[in-house]
A and B are shown apart, each in its own frame.
Chain A
Amino acid sequence: MKIDYKKNKLQILTFIVLGAIPLFVDSYYLDNISYFMCWTFISLGLAVIWGMGGILSFGQTAFFGLAGYGFSVISINFLGIAGVSLWSIVLALMLTGIFGLIVGYFLFYGGIYDVFIGIVTLAITLVLETFMQQTAGPEYTIGDARLNGFNGMQGMPTIGFENIPFGLVEGVTQYYFILILSIIILISLYKFKNSKMGLIFLASKEDRDRVSSLGHNVQKIQLIAFTIASLLAGISGILYTNWGGYITPDSMGLVSAALPVVYVAASGKKDFFSVFIGCIFFVWLSQTLAINGKQFAIIVMGLILVIATRFFPDGIILMLKNKLVEKIKWLQS
């Protein structure tokens, strides 16, 4: 993979800093940062379809939940088999991707566009949440895994190898795994953006009909982008489930569906790196406000969002990043 080192100095610097963090913080802060990073993938997925293609989907959390539950059900059923947590990730992601393909096909080949995509994806997410909430009874058991409805599922194994003392349990291995995964995904997404398919996708945001009349299969590209986004959401779902050892239908509710949208919009949906940093920042911010702000935490969060859209419609983090690069000449090539 060829990376243009000169143009991406800020990004490289950021990752060097992130890579060095474990040397300076204790395990609580490290696991907390790992937790913040879990949420970046679902946001990046949204940045792909919304930032690049202008498709606002509230369905990212449906894929988040599906992957989380899928991972749990599969790994609980095959507990004890070597490497179970790893290939259940693969299977869960495949399942999520297939579901993403189906939903995407329904949307793009069914002629649904603009705000209607938001409504349809929201409806799908709510259907899943409503259904899952009432699966408390014993009849809702897949193999050995009881779905347990509103109270949520536990007991899934943590990601790792049984015989090798490395695993995404906590601490340094989890942190570096997520960090390296983020770097790989960010680089891949930039490649996608600059690829032919990516450029067509970007163009389709401006004028869908004109792009198709030029002979490009817009629907196919939209479908591919949507599936990529669903897989990214699934990665977040699995990492979160692994971090917390727990998944509930709550993760597919109205609030959960709106959060990625809010983080991505406030960060700067057009730039993947801004979304990555912004997502970490906003999750950190809402947690810090909750610790220190008590009753006013949510009000402050709301104010920040309103101010962001009102004054920084392209995203606060993106705006800050551009200003930083502008001011510090060394960061420009």
Chain B
Amino acid sequence: MKKIVIFLISSFLILFSHAKAADTIKLGILEDETGNFAIAVVPKIHAYELAVKEINANGGVLGKQLEIVRYDTQSDNRRFQEFARRLIKKDKVDVVFGAFSSASRESIRGIMEKNKMLYFYNNQYEGGVCSKTTFMTGAVPEQQFSTLVPWMMEKYGKNVYTIAADYNFGQISAEWVRQIVKENGGNMVGEEFIPLDVSQYSQTIQKIQKAKPDVLMTLLVGAKQASFYEQQASAGLGIPMATSINVGQAYEHRRFAPPALENMYVTVNYIQEVHEVIKSGEFHDKSKDYVERFRALYPDEPYINMESANAYNAIYMYAKAVEKAGTTDTMKVVSALESGISQDGPSGVVTMDPKSHHGSHTIFLVRVGKGHEVTIPKIWKDIKPYWLGDNGCDLANKADYSQYTPSNPPKN
């Protein structure tokens, strides 16, 4: 008799735990909470948590609560590889969000695709990933440079000099700049590629001065390379700078002593100052609302950056797609995402492009002033990620799992 009771109780418990498990939708998150990339990534982690909290408070998705399973990847590619497998095989999550650097994204994209795991990459990057089960919510070069470069050339002059980090992101971004400068009748008066470990820029500054450019494109990545800004200011370089990288991710304008970033222009898809600078209208209201909700949950957040907006939008887009598909089955959610999902987020409406799986963006042109105060001279609405779609990537109709570059476009 005792044995039967024990058996029944344990079966109930097992059934109950299984049943309970099926009541949540598990979101796997792989982000660098510590390490070199933490500055720009911690706001993303909090944005995921904010979105999940809000959706759960509104009844969840398909009647189920969203549950986050998150690992700190320590800005280390090996951790990405280890924990990706853990999320897929042990935690058995329904979707994965994460990665900051392209290297860490690429270290896990293969295993995500192989296991048909839906994967959202929510960071700006060099563009070109055309993958059936991957969705990118971050900004790409055609969005940030096709707006920034012609504007700078019109305002300051046609001679452009680029300094870029000497690796994939820097090289490809520089390639985009070169192309756009040429298309707009400008001159590349110089280009310098600098390895990620370099922190001293006297020689670089001299080279720039010799070339006398009107516009200096600074495509520098990481804390070491960011030392350039202080050094160029103390050398009195005085040339307007343009970038797609700084301010919007690691809020250098708050961390560096002025006037290091004076006269720097950045194209971002969001920053927390949007509603402080734009006093009324759609962008003011949406930004203010987002920041207020964010700070209610995280009052000590040092800065709410553009990648946090991408992370936030990604969760909502996933939720919408799952509702639309009626299931968390990867390929069905993919189809739902390809049917034209939009999200009205912190920076306005973001739409997922079915051909390339990239998001369209509102692009704000940010100018940093002498005291590091921020102004927004121009806004471009709904800039589409046109390059992949124009060059043969059509994921809604043709599955693919590659990354392309301007010199290696998809072959039709």
Contact = CB atoms under 8 A, between A and B. Distances in A.
B209 to A, nearest CB: 25
A294 interface: yes
A295 B167 CA distance: 29
Interface string B106-130: 1101110010000000000000000
A133 B193 CA distance: 12
Given A133-B167, A134-B193, A150-B168, A27 B89 contact: yes
Contact of A133 (B90, B195, B403): B195
A143 interface: no
Contacts of B71: 290-291
Interface string A131-143: 0011011100000
Interface residues of B, number: 36
B103 interface: yes
A248 B103 contact: yes
Given A28-B85, A32-B85, A133-B196, A154 B110 contact: yes
Contacts of B102: 150-151
Q: Most chain-B Cβ atoms within 10 A of its Cβ — which of A134, A150, A290?
A: A150
Interface in A60-114: none
Interface size class of A (residues with CB under 8 A): 20 to 34
B407 A138 contact: yes
Contact of A32 (B74, B82, B109): B82
Given A136-B168, A149-B167, A245-B111, A297 B74 contact: yes
Interface string A282-298: 00000100110011011
A151 B34 contact: no
B79 interface: yes
A294 B106 contact: no
Contacts of A294: 33-34, 72
A11 interface: no
A38 to B, nearest CB: 11
Nearest to A27: B89
Nearest to B125: A151
Contacts, number: 94
B107 A28 contact: no
B323 interface: no
B184 to A, nearest CB: 24
A211 B83 CA distance: 49
B46 to A, nearest CB: 15
Nearest to A126: B197
A287 B195 CA distance: 29
A118 interface: no
Contacts of B107: 152, 244, 246, 248
Contacts of B111: 244-245
A151 B89 CA distance: 25
Interface in B281-303: none
Contacts of A297: 34, 72, 74
Interface string B142-177: 000000000000000000000000111101100000
Interface of A: 26-29, 31-32, 35, 130, 133-134, 136-138, 146, 148-152, 154-155, 244-246, 248, 250, 287, 290-291, 294-295, 297-298
22 contacts: A27-B89, A28-B85, A31-B85, A31-B89, A32-B86, A133-B166, A133-B167, A137-B171, A138-B408, A151-B103, A152-B106, A244-B81, A244-B107, A244-B111, A245-B114, A246-B77, A248-B107, A250-B103, A287-B79, A294-B72, A295-B34, A298-B74
Interface of B: 33-34, 71-72, 74, 77, 79, 81-83, 85-86, 89-90, 102-103, 106-107, 109-111, 114, 166-169, 171-172, 193, 195-197, 403, 405, 407-408
